[in-house]
A and B are shown apart, each in its own frame.
Chain A
Amino acid sequence: MKVAITSTGKELTSAPDRRFGRCKYFVIYDTERESVEFIENPKRDYNEGAGPASVQLVVSKGVEQIITGDPGGKAASIIDQLPVRLVRLEDGYRNIGEVIQFLKKNI
C-alpha cells in the first residue's frame, strides 16, 4: 500500500508538515517495497483549490492512505468520497523517518 505523508522538506530528517494542500513535499511511502519517494508539491501556491488538487496528485500516484495534520473542508470531503483513508498526524513525530518507523511497526 502507498501512503502519502505531508512533509516540510525532502529528507527523512525533515519535520512533517501539518498542512495538507499547501505542504512543501509529499512523501510517498510504499509499505510493501519499503521505498520512499519525495514529490515537491506543485499545487501549494495555487490561489484556490490547492487541497482538492493535492488529493488528485497523490491519489493518481496510487496512494490509499494520507497522513497529514488537518486538511481543509474541500479536500476532506473529497477524501471522504474516495477509497482513501485519512489519518490525522499526531503531535510528537519529530521527522518523517519516525512516521515511517511507526508505519513499519504497525502494518
Chain B
Amino acid sequence: MRIAIASGKGGTGKTFVATNLFWLASEMGMECVLADCDAEEPNVAGFLPGDTESVTEVFQQVPVIDPNKCTFCGKCYDYCAYNAILYLPEKRWIQVLPDLCHDCGACSYACEAGAITEKPRLLGKVKRSAYGPRSRLTEGRSEVRVYSAVAVIKKAIHEAGNKKVTILDSPPGISCPFIATVDKADYVVLVSEPTPFGLHDLKLSVSTVQQIGKPFGVVINKAGPGNREMYEWLKEYDIPLLMEIPFDREIARIYSDGGLLSREHTSYREMFRRLLKQILHFQSV
C-alpha cells in the first residue's frame, strides 16, 4: 500500500511523520520502503541512514535543432504543446528551451527536414539503500538548475516498488512535484498545523487531493498553540482527523538531533502505531 505523506504548507512535519511511520513499520517486522520524493531537498537520510545499494541517473531527452538543416517551416513549433520552442522565422532564429521541454518527442516527429536530434540531459539521481534486512529507502535528488523534479520523483517511486507499507515523503506545495507523488498513492496523509497559514494551505491541498480522487486524512502537528479554526473546518467537511501531535519542545529537540521520536518515547510510539493501523485498515475495508 502506497501512503503519501503530504501537506500544502512546508515545515509542517511531513518527513517527521514519514520517518517515524517507516521506522515503526520496519520495527514491527513489516516489509516496508520509504521514498524521499522531496527531490529538491531530500533529507530522510538524515534520520534513516541506510546502506547504499545503487545509484541510478535520470535523464531527459532534449531536442537539438541543427540550424543548417532547419527549413524554418515552423512545424515543430506548432506541435510543441509546452512553449519549449522559440521560433522567429523572419530572424531565422529557432531555439529549444530545455526547461520547458517535457521530453514528449513531438518535435522530432514533426520535423521533415531531419534537423532535430536528441541529446540526454541529466535531471537527477535516485539512490536505493537497504535499512535492515527487510526495509528499503529510495531517495530522489534533483540536479541543481533543473526546472522540474517530476521525472526524478517518478523514478524514485518506481524504484521503491509497492510493499506492504510504502511511504512516499512528498514535496511541499500543491504543484507538479506534489501531484506526481500523490497521484501514485493509495492513501494520502496531509500533515498540517493549527494556524491560519496552516488552514489556508490545508484547504488548497484538500481540494487538490479531492480532484485527483484519493482518500485522505489529516494529521495536526504542533497542536496546542494556534486556534480552533482548523478543527471546526475538518468537522464541517467531515474530514478524518487521524492524529494530533502536541507542540512539545522535546519533540523538536529529538528531531533537530536527527532522532526518531518513536524510537525514543514509547508513548509517542504508541500514537504512531495507532496511526499506521488506521491507515492500513483503510486499505482492507
A21 and chain B: residue at smallest CB distance: B83
Chain A hits for B93, CB < 8 A: 82
Q: How far apart sit A30 and B84, CA to CA, in the bound complex (Å)?
A: 29
State whether A48 touches B100 (Cβ < 8 A).
yes
Q: State the majority secondary structure of interface residues on A.
A: helix
- How many of chain A's residues have a CB under 8 angstroms from any CB in B? 17
State whether B91 touches A59 (Cβ < 8 A).
yes
Chain A hits for B187, CB < 8 A: none
State whether B90 touches A60 (Cβ < 8 A).
yes
State whether A52 touches B97 (Cβ < 8 A).
yes
- With known contacts A48-B100, A49-B100, A59-B91, A78–B86 Cβ distance under 8 A: yes
Q: Does B55 lie at the interface of the complex (its beta carbon under 8 Å from any beta carbon of A)?
A: no
Q: How far apart sit A78 and B87, CA to CA, in the bound complex (Å)?
A: 12
Q: Does B27 lie at the interface of the complex (its beta carbon under 8 Å from any beta carbon of A)?
A: no
Q: Does A102 lie at the interface of the complex (its beta carbon under 8 Å from any beta carbon of B)?
A: no
Chain A nearest CB, measured from B90 CB (Å): 7
A residues apposed to B, CB below 8 Å = 43, 46, 48-50, 52-53, 55-56, 59-60, 62, 74, 78, 81-83
Closest 6 CB pairs of A and B: A49-B83, A49-B100, A53-B83, A56-B86, A52-B86, A52-B97
Given contacts A49-B97, A62-B90, 16 further A-B pairs with CB under 8 A are A46-B83, A48-B83, A49-B82, A52-B86, A52-B100, A53-B83, A55-B86, A56-B88, A59-B88, A59-B91, A60-B90, A74-B97, A74-B100, A78-B86, A78-B97, A82-B91
